[in-house]
Structure 1
Amino acid sequence: MHIRYRRLVGVFALVALFLVWGFLALGVGYFLLGSPEWWVRMTYYAIAGAGWLPFAMPIVSFMSRRRDEPA
Structure 2
Amino acid sequence: QVTVFGLGGSSSALAQETQYRLFRYGITVSAQCDPYLMRMTASTLKPGDLVIAISATGRTREVIGAVELAKHYRANAI
TM-score where L is the length of structure 2: 0.32
Higher relative contact order (CA 8 A, sep 6+): 1
Bigger-Rg structure (1/2): 1
Higher helix share: 1
